[in-house]
Amino acid sequence: MGLTVIDMSTISPTVTRTLATKLAERGIAMLDAPVSGGEKGAIAGTLSIMVGGNEATFKRCLPILQALGTTIVHVGRNGAGQVVKACNQIVVALILEAVSEALVLGAKAGVEPAKSCKRLVEAMLAAGSWRYVVHQ
């Protein structure tokens, strides 16, 4: 069975692959498993975990990951977890940018900002527009 390192930080995929190679030279397996879900998800054990590494190692470590998260996806070789996390962050950033632009548009179109922001957010939540961001 041997030792396994599960790195749950968000770091460079290149660094991850280098670490995995150096660990493998010593007979140690590695999974890169960055998370999404924030402090609330960590406390509740509902993190989303994107895992890169050997599939057999992933399956062996799955019970450990299940103690921390509810959405756990093996996405490929070492470094793939980091790449998927970066892709996730791009999507979140673009959604936040779009929401900001929508709020500015509402205000510039003459809707009272103090009311428009609250009502626009309520309307977008009701329509499901922020479903993804709210869960982050």
By annotation, the residues acting in catalysis are 85
Using CA atoms, how far apart are residues 136 and 122, in angstroms rounded to an integer? Answer: 18
> Among candidates 80, 89, 109, 91, which has minimal Cα distance to 16?
80
What is the total residue count of the chain? 136
Cα 123 to Cα 136: distance, rounded to the nearest angstrom: 19
Task: Name every residue whose Cβ is closer than 8 Å to that of residue 125 and which is 6 or more positions away in sequence.
Answer: 134
| Contact between residue 34 and residue 50 where contact means Cβ atoms under 8 Å apart | yes
For residue 136, the 8-state DSSP code is: -
Placement of tokens 């999974």 in the chain: 31
